[in-house]
Amino acid sequence: MTTADSSGYAPEWLRLREPADTAARAADLVALLPAVPAVIRDLGCGTGAMGRWLSGRLPKPQRWILHDQDQRLLKIAARSLPPGISVVTEQADVTRLGFGGTSLVTASALLDLLTEEEIQRLVKSCVDAQSPALFTLSVTGSARLTPADAADEALNTAFNDHQRRDGKLGPEAVAVTAAEFQRYGWTVHTRLSPWQLGPEHRELIDAWYRGFVAAAREEQPDLTVPEDRQITEVTVHHQDLLALP
């Protein structure tokens, strides 16, 4: 995830970050997908932002199967996809699904929340079903704040350590996922997909920075952070991954 804000999965946070996500995703990867009518599984769908971004870039007809563990988010997502698309929802653990009959497995800001074992299961499910996979907006462990501060390196390190709690891969997730697909002989494409936030993203910058600091301090309680910091620009680095059989 891009931030460990306590509101991280709340619809308000997902709404706030959606324009930045839309601008950041590597749309050129979609052109590499097979141009066939699609059955798409959206893992950890949240409010349906991935479906809103991707559905117009894929051929019709489409059937979307939305997966999330939060029933409230599933209801929002199901109502929000464009008309003319078949939508069903499933409340499920996305690391324990089978993907038979699926044309595309996709997710956004998910891989860095998973352990190596969970990624191995997820990749194996894609391989068994021969389903291409498009995973966007996984953090890569680097954020640049403007104006810079002497505390930034320590903040970034503590945040990354927090992302790795409980065995989660955090910044290493894309590299591990790519290697796992390649182990099965699949072709993997990756693209940088950074958030580029400026003054027009004031609300998002503030919310992201609160979560960034909170996670870092949870990992390192004695961390010194400047008070009343006025950040004007933020670059949060992500990576997108497309795996094809």
Domain membership of residue 185 (yes or no) is yes
Number of domains in the chain: 1
pLDDT tens-place string over residues 52-88: 999 999 999 999 999 999 999 999 999 999 998 999 9
Q: Which helix (H) or strand (E) holds 156?
A: helix 152-163
Domain membership of residue 116 (yes or no) is yes
Domain membership of residue 106 (yes or no) is yes
pLDDT at 217 over 50: yes
Q: Could you give the CA distance from residue 5 to residue 12 in angstroms, rounded to a whole number? A: 12
Domain membership of residue 209 (yes or no) is no
pLDDT at 202 over 50: yes
Triad 29, 34, 36: Cα angle to 5° = 130
Residue 9 has a pLDDT of: 64
DSSP 230: -
In this prediction, residues 183-210 reach a mean pLDDT of: 97
- Chain-centre distance for alpha carbon 25: 10
The pair of three-digit structure tokens given for residue 220, joined into one six-digit string: 């390192």
Record the pTM.
Answer: 0.94
Residue 8 has a pLDDT of: 43
Domain membership of residue 229 (yes or no) is no
pLDDT at 1 over 70: no
CATH of the domain at 84: 3.40.50.150
Helix or strand or coil: residue 71?
helix
Q: By residue range, what is the domain housing residue 69?
A: 11-143+167-196+235-244
Residue 61 has a pLDDT of: 93
Domain membership of residue 183 (yes or no) is yes
Q: Are 57 and 64 in contact (CB under 8 A)?
A: no
